[in-house]
Amino acid sequence: MWLQIGVALVEKFSYEHSQPLKFSQFKGITMYFEAVLKNKKYKVDVHEEKNTWKVSLQQEGKEWVHHEISKRDYKSAEEYVSFLFNGKSYLIDVVGQDTEYTVFTRNSFRTIKIFNDEMLLHESLKKGGGFGGASELKAGMPGKIIEIFVKPGDEVKAGKPLLIMEAMKMENEMRASSDVKIKQVRVKQGDSVESGAVLIQFES
């Protein structure tokens, strides 16, 4: 089902933005977003090629699964998208706005919450550049480590910078949300990281 949802959502975003989706700097994909369905988190990469859609899906804690849809079996209209997959025909409608969407298909529907690249970056910036509990700093979206300001043993005051990560061609300064002591730095300058990767661990 996530194959259908992924393609339908990409089509929906493309239509709403009234312009082709730009290729992300990460992995050469057409679009990357994260989604939550029934309290389960998913990552979705959708890559448009000349004759196919390539969709990669990963449920949190599991391996990536890769699918492909021929454009010969894919049609779109303002109200819906339709395509063939594994010998079955799917007619899909997607309604919603911002991060809340409902996908209707095969006499059923699923409500999901999604974050595309821009939404992920916005959430990341609101949280000082990353997320995680009191014991760690995680990447809010895929990116590249540009500079690291701390090392194990350092005591850092709230609001002080920990590192800089580039995402969507923007440099995002990640700051301490509270007074912390650095236990371990899990990345080095130049590393490429995925969304959710642990960057820095703090002393308890």
User: What CA dihedral angle connects 139, 38, 70 and 26, to 10 degrees?
Assistant: 0
For the domain made up of 127-202, the CATH class stated in words is mainly beta
Q: Which residues make up the CATH 3.30.700.30 domain(s) of the chain?
A: 2-117
CATH number of 2-117: 3.30.700.30
pLDDT value at residue 91:
82
- Whether residue 130 has pLDDT greater than 60: no
Q: Rounded mean pLDDT of the chain?
A: 75
Q: What is the pLDDT of residues 17-62, one digit of tens each?
A: 444 444 343 344 466 777 777 788 888 877 777 788 888 888 888 8
The sign of the dihedral angle between the CA atoms of 72, 77, 83, 89 is: negative
Q: Which residues make up the CATH 2.40.50.100 domain(s) of the chain?
A: 127-202
pLDDT value at residue 197:
85
Euclidean distance between CA atoms 198 and 187, whole angstroms? 8
CA atoms within 13 A on the CB side of 161: 10
Q: Is the pTM of this model over 0.85?
A: no
List, edge to edge, every strand of the sheet that includes 52-59.
65-70, 52-59, 40-48, 31-37, 108-116, 100-105, 88-97, 81-85, 74-76
Q: What is the pLDDT of residues 140-190, one digit of tens each?
A: 778 899 999 999 999 999 888 899 988 767 787 888 888 899 999 999 999
